[in-house]
Amino acid sequence: MNETTSEPTTPPTPPPAQPRYRGRDRHGRMPDPRAHYRAVNRFAVISVVLGALSILTMFGWLFGVLPLAGIVLGILALRQIDAAPGEMTGRSFAIAGLVLSPTLWVLGMGYVLFVAINEVPVGYTVLTFEDLQPDPENPGELIPQKILDLEDKPVYIKGYMYPGRQNTGIQQFVLVPSLFHCQFCQRDLKSTEMVQVATVGDLLADSTSNKTGVGGKLYIDRQEAVRPLGGLPYKIEADYLRQ
pLDDT digits (tens, 9 = 90+) for 15-24: 665 555 455 5
Q: Is the pLDDT of residue 74 over 60?
A: yes
- Mean predicted lDDT score pLDDT of the chain: 84
Q: Using 50, 70 and 90 to split pLDDT, how confident is the model at 27?
A: low
CATH class of 125-242: mainly beta
- Read off the pTM: 0.58
* Per-domain residue ranges of the chain: 33-119, 125-242
- pLDDT for 55 equals 93
Q: What own/partner pairs with CB < 8 Å and gap ≥ 24 does 129-134 have?
A: 129/157, 129/159, 129/177, 129/193, 132/192, 132/193, 132/195, 132/234, 133/190, 133/192, 133/193, 134/192
43-55 as b/e, with b when 16 or more CB fall inside 10 Å?
bbbbbbbbbbbbb
- pLDDT of the residue at 8: 60
Residue 53, pLDDT above cutoff 90: yes
pLDDT at 150 over 50: yes
